[in-house]
Structure 1
Amino acid sequence: MKRIAVDIGGTFTDCFVCWGDEFIQTKALTTHHNLALGFNDALDQSCEMLKLSRSDMLAEVDSVRYATTLGTNALIERRGPKVGLLITEGFESTVPLSRGRGYGDGLPDEQARDLSRARRPDPIVPIASIRTVKQRMDYRGKILLDLDEADVREKLKQLVDRGVQAIVVNMINSVENPEHELRVQEIFEEEFPSSMLGAIPMVLSHQVVGRKGEYVRSSSAIIDAFLHSTMYYAMSALEQNLRTNGYGKPMLLVHNSGGMAQLNSTDALKTLHSGPVAGIHAAEQLALQSGTKNFVCGDMGGTSFDIGLITEGGTKHYDFNPVVDRWRVTLPMVHLVTLGAGGGSIAKYDAIFDTVKVGPQSAGSDPGPACYDRGGMNPTVTDADLVLGYLDPDNYANGAIPLNKRRSYQALEDICDEMDISEQDAALLIKSMADSEMAAGLVRELNGGGYKAEEFIFLAYGGNGPLHCCGIADKAGITEILAPPYSSVFSACGGAGLDQMHIHEKNVSLGFYNKHLRALYSDYQRFNELVEELEQRGRDDLLRQGFHDEDIKYSLELDMRYGIQKMEVSIELPNRRLTKPADVLNAIEAMNDDFGKRYGHEIVSPESGVWVTTVRVVSRVDLGTVTFSELVPPAPLPVQPDPVAFRECYFNSGDGKGSDGAMETPVYGAAALEPGVCIEGPAIVNPGSTTYLVEPGWTFKAAAQGAVWFSKAK
């Protein structure tokens, strides 16, 4: 196995290289103006460790996989083209009304609690850029009104005259019959050939998502169009950089569904949150290989803190109608929650509550925290960690980024003056507030799923995860933490173990038990033909990317609900075809079991009717994953390593009111990661790639592959 996996974050570009039996992890600052520069920097560090040139490595490697937050950041910053929308006449208010959800979707909790003061987001497609065309299909795809082609030509000219740089086409019920959407595209190419107008992308809604729901399908296609140019040019530049350096294979992009595909088989919408999703995949593999039951994942990087759940059996959770920024979309996305809390999160004085507020604004990588000495003036969580003594100014990120402690003190001055406290107390307050916000996010996520925090292990990774994990766990009521192997680049590690995968789905309304007729579903031919159609679409995707038919594996999932209930569960059908009543009964029984576990067995009610609302086929090619060693910490070594230094550090006192003063804290080097090492807190372990902070009351235990367990007496 020779692979390069890259996670391009808002602050750091993480690189994970599998080279036979060797695994290399490196970091570089993200270069937003040209992502290839940060990638080359991180890759060159790996080449130096392997004593290879960049061109030699790229010539031998099997694949290069990218996960990136570029699309996420572009959406947050509203950096994108002018988008126009062409929709069925009579439905022009679908997007502006947003099903009445525009006020609440995507708001932070404190704002969602007061929707009377909430404001809709600025629209990506303003009302003036929406045009309607005369056509109509019914819910089965039967044409009720033919497409008025003259009307289409006129409306396209109007949108072009408005200066739109991307056009979305959403014809009602086009997922049942895309004929009119496809004809609109043909008319557009006839009226405005590329030789005359240039490359204005046209996005057809049925090609982006396969489920009904006009608002969510519209918003999905609009976001895809808004991000298309940004992602296309940035990813093309990365691919060209690979070509220039001797890499001749297709570049692979990580999808937020937990798989990946080639650039020419990737919609921009599928790249959103792809980096954190790769981390969730690595956590899933870790749970499966180690037999660990329940993980709550916390990826703390420089810009954000991403939360996900892995429950017993190594199962990750999916959102089928996730909220992206402020818009609800419809695509299968691995479930995660993102908080604006990371090492680069900016702290400000909050005059109302006479305290500090941390995030969601971030200093990013340019200029970065004040201590980076790159022009940043605002205090960040990283500045607080440096003032508290947790970070080594000369050995941060393997020494690649020297830290200027004086700049951190200067950045804290305003907070100190407003609150009349010392720099150390201000830094402790920043750390405490950041830890509290992340702990609250973990608890909300666990409670929302009906879980108890004490039943979960906190899987802490990302560049700052092992540094803040004890403080977060303390506040969340969790007593066991695992910092996994390669924790500082764990999401990139997850990207190295992904399979190529495509998901295709279709809305249906199939009564697996119709209570009015008191009958089981029996139209097996219709069901099997639909499954075959979805399998064929996945097969075509993978064959186009160079795989063989015999390499492709399929799984079938059904979204099911009782009667007219809104709560749906997704179950996997082991047999992908229906041939007898027992197959239908097995599906209903699987639905009853899953529904009971989620919502309570007392409300399982198949007698009210059982309906299948979505048929989903996952097509994949297994490419092998990163193998993790046994994670159980061995017996303590008879001789423990000695500290390499001592440093004055500050910790929050037991009552949470400031510190008890400086504590002489031992600092350990890479020797502390040898399996069997056991260290009582307070202590700092800094092997160079990341910093492990063992707070008072916690115990550090090293396991294989650099994994570390933190435990606290209950």
Structure 2
Amino acid sequence: MAGLRIGFDIGGTFTDLVLYDEASGRIHSHKLATTVRNPEVAVRTGWRTLLAEAGFLGSQVSNAIHGTTLITNCLVERKGAATLLLATQGFSDVLDTQREMRYDIYDLHAPQVEHLVPRPLRFEARERLDAFGGVIEELSLDSLDDVARRLERAEVTDSVESIAVCFLHAFTNPEHEQKAGAWLSEHLPHLRVSLSHEVAPEIREYERMSTTVCNAYVQPLAATYLRQLGDVLREVGFEREMFLMLSSGGVSTLETAVKFPIRLVESGPAAGALAAVFYGELLDLPNLVSFDMGGTTAKMCLIKDGQPAMSDHFEIARVHRFKRGSGLPVRVPAIELIEIGAGGGSVARVDELGLLKVGPDSAGADPGPACYGLGGDAPTVTDADLLLGYLDPGFFLGGRMILDQAAAESAMAGLAERMGLTMTETAHGIFRVVNENMISATRVHVAERGADPRSLRLMAFGGAGPVHAYEIARALKMQGFVCPASAGVTSALGFLTAPPAFEFARTHMERLDAPSLIELDGIYAGLEAEGRRVLKSAGIEDDDMTFTLKADLRHVGQGHEISVALPCTKPSDMSLDGDLRPYFFARYEEIYGHAHTHLDLEITTCRLNASGPRPRVELPEFETGSGPDQALKDSRPAYFTEVEGFVDTPIYDRYLLGRGSTVHGPAIVEERESTAVIGPRGSAEIDRYGNLVVTLEE
């Protein structure tokens, strides 16, 4: 039976909702400002408006999938729960010693990475395992009693909400952590407990401890937020369980998300990458760059052979945005993308050297850019776009929000005066600087993955993406760019293309030979059993489950490893010399340009991705409708870099451009949630699915 599916994304500036009607193939969308202090308020309003416009009831919705930046914001802004750390005796300072190296060796005054648990809230338990999981010293429950007594004496027992338990080598033997978790649940039942062997059962003590602490830090907030969100959905008539998007691009149950909220860190950006994959398949574009520019950030992701790159580690809240090691390390599977503080709300300012800077700080939704008329007085990217003629002040969000041009001019005038420039020069400077930030980030991201931007197209979406796509594609000499229909809410559609999925990992360090492959069968069988349990809880039948094996491999004696896909159902089906070694060497050479084929291999971590069937989204084809002449709304002056000035530019109504319609630049194409700017060297065509496909002249 065909049903209704809703995907909704709460961003820093806007909340996006998409409803897909499986019976007709129609997509309905709605976009509204995020209610920052109470995000669920915008969700309630958005659901009610979307359902009313589409003519459905909440009880008719069969599936709802949600993604959010709440977890990331909580970590960046340090607004999580008061959290304790319980570590092996002598190892509670791992959060301070970290990797025992500075992230910038030339900066003697580089600020240290400050962790989430201050020293007074770190406790130690008497216990010890060796590197293979053997017990050297049994867990002392007396040392746990001491934790409770010290909290009582300090009169903070009721103030702390969460605890991270991270014992040395617990990934090889979870017995001590399990005992500690049971004791804490009995004696301090108000605490939420995160155990490292469940959150990140992998080698590298600092990364495992950091991930566990981050999970514990956001767990109470995530549980409260998701419970409130569930109450809101019941208010609007939705009667089923909500699902959550994971940073890996899979979908999980509410129960799993509450237990492992750290897996939600990049859920919104992951949905955008999946949407780009979906449209790439639709348009036969397996190689492209996903470009999602919203109100707060811009996210770029290389899609190669129809798949985004994956990573099992990244950093949050970096002290220096582009310096590796300056943030909180997190070991969770995630779609590999680059995210920078460049959005419609990014604030422009003059730095101490007198140079124009844009971002990463954002005006967000409250107060928002000056042109929102909500009290913001700092010039932003949206203010610049408005003054350059790209945005219609009377048609922002389809006319539901009227932009205040006078307020934008007032904010821009102050910055222009400080810089000694005209208002137009200042607005164009902001436009160019934010574009260059995104161009540089995209160029590096693509180059690091061995791709040439000249062979790629940009898939541009998000509220601000289509405004800036032309300049980015032109600077990178790309073939052009594509703006999907309803580009402003495209990332929310990505939720509806994601399968139920969860990735499991277990460290197992061993030199590889034929007998060791047989031993690995048992480890992967255990991971598969965990996967079946999680998928079954999401309502997936056994016959619909798919399991993909990966392994972290390296040369014997190396300090770091690479992840290699294993095209088999169990490792013993492969030949070490005929299959596994060639797979590893090919992947190694792809990354580093050379492989040491004479060296032996060792495995460090076994990984398994358990997934259900991918949901089908079948878009209806557009009919040949009216052409550009009928879709022409008006014209207005818009600034284009190629001519270094304003050009009287035709404005087209995207909803009146039928299949096959062609528009030549300079032109502006408007829809409710976004505006596409096409420069003088571009021409656009509406394809059979209503997508705006822009090609650039050589």
Bin for the TM-score computed over the shorter chain? over 0.9
Matching residue of 1:517 = none
Task: Please state if 1:51 is matched with 2:55.
Answer: yes
3-state SS of paired residue (2:349)? strand
2:592 to 575, 599, 604: 599
Matching residue of 1:133 = 125
3-state SS of paired residue (1:503)? strand
Matching residue of 2:13 = 11
Return 210-219 or 603-612, whichever deviates more: 603-612
- Compute the TM-score of the two structures, normalised by the length of structure 1: 0.91
> Any gaps of 5 or more consecutive residues in structure 1?
105-111, 513-519
3-state SS of paired residue (1:99)? coil
Return 606-615 or 386-395, whichever deviates more: 606-615
Distance in 1 separating the partners of 2:208 and 2:507? 12
Task: Please state if 1:273 is matched with 2:266.
Answer: yes
Q: How far does residue 499 in structure 1 lie from its aligned partner after superposition?
A: 0.9
Residues 48 and 236 in structure 2, CA contact (< 8 A), matched pair in contact too: no
Distance in 1 separating the partners of 2:503 and 2:534? 10
Matching residue of 2:406 = 406
Residues 440 and 476 in structure 1, CA contact (< 8 A), matched pair in contact too: no
Task: Please state if 1:338 is matched with 2:327.
Answer: no
Residues 87 and 132 in structure 1, CA contact (< 8 A), matched pair in contact too: yes
Distance in 2 separating the partners of 1:136 and 1:455? 54
2:135 to 143, 153, 161: 143
- Which residue identity does 2:54 align to in structure 1? L
3-state SS of paired residue (1:701)? strand
Distance in 1 separating the partners of 2:493 and 2:618? 10
Return 535-544 or 450-459, whichever deviates more: 450-459
Distance in 1 separating the partners of 2:662 and 2:533? 53
- Which residue identity does 1:604 align to in structure 2? A
- Which residue identity does 2:402 align to in structure 1? P
Q: How far does residue 525 in structure 1 lie from its aligned partner after superposition?
A: 3.8
Matches within 5 A, 1:503-514: 503-512=503-512
Matching residue of 1:651 = 640
Distance in 1 separating the partners of 2:389 and 2:574? 67
Q: How far does residue 700 in structure 1 lie from its aligned partner after superposition?
A: 1.9
Matching residue of 1:263 = 254
Distance in 1 separating the partners of 2:592 and 2:611? 31
Distance in 1 separating the partners of 2:160 and 2:31? 39
1:648-668 per-position Cα deviation (integer Å, ceiling 9, x unaligned):
2222355xxxx33x3211111
Q: How far does residue 583 in structure 1 lie from its aligned partner after superposition?
A: 6.2
Change (3 A) 1:505 1:695: same
Matches within 5 A, 1:88-487: 88-100=88-100, 103-104=102-103, 115-159=107-151, 161=154, 162=156, 163-192=159-188, 194=189, 199-266=190-257, 267-312=260-305, 314-325=306-317, 326-352=327-353, 354-487=354-487
1:363-414 per-position Cα deviation (integer Å, ceiling 9, x unaligned):
1011111111111111110011111111111111111211110000011121
Return 674-683 or 151-160, whichever deviates more: 151-160
Q: How far does residue 455 in structure 1 lie from its aligned partner after superposition?
A: 2.1
Identical columns (%):
27
Change (3 A) 1:135 1:435: same
How well do the aligned residues superpose, as a CA RMSD in angstroms?
2.2
> Any gaps of 5 or more consecutive residues in structure 2?
318-326
1:460-513 per-position Cα deviation (integer Å, ceiling 9, x unaligned):
11111111101222333324212234321111110011111111111122333x
- Which residue identity does 1:332 align to in structure 2? P
Residues 350 and 356 in structure 1, CA contact (< 8 A), matched pair in contact too: yes
Change (3 A) 1:114 1:696: farther
Q: How far does residue 246 in structure 1 lie from its aligned partner after superposition?
A: 2.4
1:211-258 per-position Cα deviation (integer Å, ceiling 9, x unaligned):
121111100011111111221111110101112232221111110011
- Compute the TM-score of the two structures, normalised by the length of structure 2: 0.93
Q: How far does residue 34 in structure 1 lie from its aligned partner after superposition?
A: 2.0
Residues 87 and 123 in structure 2, CA contact (< 8 A), matched pair in contact too: yes
Q: How far does residue 207 in structure 1 lie from its aligned partner after superposition?
A: 1.2
1:582 to 564, 569, 575: 575
Q: How far does residue 574 in structure 1 lie from its aligned partner after superposition?
A: 2.3
Task: Please state if 1:676 is matched with 2:665.
Answer: no
Distance in 2 separating the partners of 1:409 and 1:524? 68
Distance in 2 separating the partners of 1:245 and 1:641? 39
Task: Please state if 1:690 is matched with 2:690.
Answer: no
Count matched residues. 679
Change (3 A) 1:590 1:630: farther
Change (3 A) 1:8 1:74: same
Distance in 1 separating the partners of 2:514 and 2:621? 47
Q: How far does residue 630 in structure 1 lie from its aligned partner after superposition?
A: 8.5
Matches within 5 A, 1:491-530: 491-512=491-512, 520-530=513-523
Distance in 1 separating the partners of 2:100 and 2:453? 34
Return 370-379 or 605-614, whichever deviates more: 605-614
Distance in 1 separating the partners of 2:458 and 2:174? 46
Distance in 2 separating the partners of 1:671 and 1:710? 17
Matches within 5 A, 1:495-574: 495-512=495-512, 520-566=513-559, 568-574=561-567
Distance in 2 separating the partners of 1:419 and 1:523? 67
Distance in 1 separating the partners of 2:162 and 2:329? 20
